[in-house]
Structure 1
């Protein structure tokens, strides 16, 4: 593992490279073990694909203490899959009226829209990272048959709840924002709500399972058809 200074009260711990066997599990383990061992000495831990940003209380801790904490947990790390993560099921209304790129993606892949929908639901996706916007969870890995490059020209406005694919990642947009991912449906579940605790339904290390719902179900769950 490699440690780099990220500020006067922050370090980045690199546990491997994205795509390397077991790296996602080590990120999850590092995050959990540091949280357990350092407790309120930490301000935040920000896990990503192959690294963890460690932000600590400068008045109670320093870089040396954090480095020692990392050395202490290193013998406990393994490449074995962790069973700590939950499986979170998210409902999705898959349709062209809310998924502007669904038909083009299917056509380019040589599939029907029903086949795209089936393949998108057939995988349990690991939450690799949360970023870009609060609640935007990067999920992988999408079946290579429905992987699709980002749009050449991003949209200025993607609606909240849009379910999208970019390369071999998929995600649910937590809020209205610009975006260049391929839209295939929409989820009525709020991905970020600051009034709730926890504020997000998923966290790094969880797995997400998408489940197709009807238009009526989508609307009854609070979904919107507005763009």
Structure 2
């Protein structure tokens, strides 16, 4: 059963549409469908849309539609059955990742906190396909859902001033990746050589909301080889039904 859609004004030309109060794949799927249904209005009535875990911020032109009309438009779009339904195929992106050591400086802490070995943490972390709920914080930063609670670990007490690009981290029950060098407070367990964000590219982000990430453990040698040949390296992707994904 779908939760009741709630609206709240944000200034004089934006509205937040709240689809629920939890991090839930069904809620996030409905958000993605709504955003796609409203795409034809972008550049016209709608100036910009910012989807999150459970809501959408819609910035609109108040000279073309007023607040009530925009809310009605969003509500109608949220009821539209999109072609990308749960039964259809989703894109899965394989992310080669070297775990631990200098690339995952917090692996020992995560393992100790979970009462597991580093090898067990790696097996658990790479054994799940993660839904990309949203991108945010910095361009291309991925917020991934579906991590096994056994390896949930609190954020760092004091954030680091520099996290290397490609770092894979854990914060609470979430996992995600830093697309560029950045400050950050997530527990770092590994790193991918894959370029997650390229501001000079026509499509700057490798991943989009609605994709799934599958981490593939690689050795340091493989990591360095991929990094040395990034210009020709092709990230592996495939499509499958959500029922065929690796769950928790």
- Is the structural similarity TM-score above 0.5? yes
- Specify the SS of the correspondent of 2:43: helix
Work out the CA distance in 2 between the residues paired with 1:57 and 1:194: 28
Residue 213, structure 1, aligned to residue 214, structure 2 = no
Residue 29, structure 1, aligned to residue 60, structure 2 = no
Aligned residues: 221
Shift of 1:57: 3.9
Q: Pick from 153, 167, 172: which aligns with 2:172?
A: 167
Contact 1:13 1:51 in 2 (8 A): yes
Contact 1:91 1:212 in 2 (8 A): yes
Q: Which residue of 2 aligns with 1:94?
A: 99
Work out the CA distance in 2 between the residues paired with 1:163 and 1:115: 16
Q: Which runs of 5+ in 2 are unaligned?
A: 229-248
Work out the CA distance in 2 between the residues paired with 1:122 and 1:193: 28
Alignment TM-score, normalising by the size of structure 2: 0.82
For the aligned residues, what is the CA RMSD? 2.1
- Specify the SS of the correspondent of 2:7: strand
- Specify the SS of the correspondent of 1:91: strand
Work out the CA distance in 2 between the residues paired with 1:130 and 1:61: 28
Residue 66, structure 1, aligned to residue 70, structure 2 = yes
Q: Which runs of 5+ in 1 are unaligned?
A: none
Residue 43, structure 1, aligned to residue 47, structure 2 = yes
Question: CA deviation digits over 1:5-28, x for unaligned, max 9?
Answer: 113322111011123572122112
Residue 155, structure 1, aligned to residue 160, structure 2 = yes
Q: Which residue of 2 aligns with 1:118?
A: 123
Alignment TM-score, normalising by the size of structure 1: 0.89
Contact 1:17 1:23 in 2 (8 A): no
Contact 2:30 2:78 in 1 (8 A): no
Shift of 1:47: 0.8
- Specify the SS of the correspondent of 2:153: coil
Q: Which residue of 2 aligns with 1:52?
A: 56
Contact 1:25 1:82 in 2 (8 A): no
- When structure 1 is superposed on structure 2, of 10-19 and 63-72 the one drifting more is 63-72
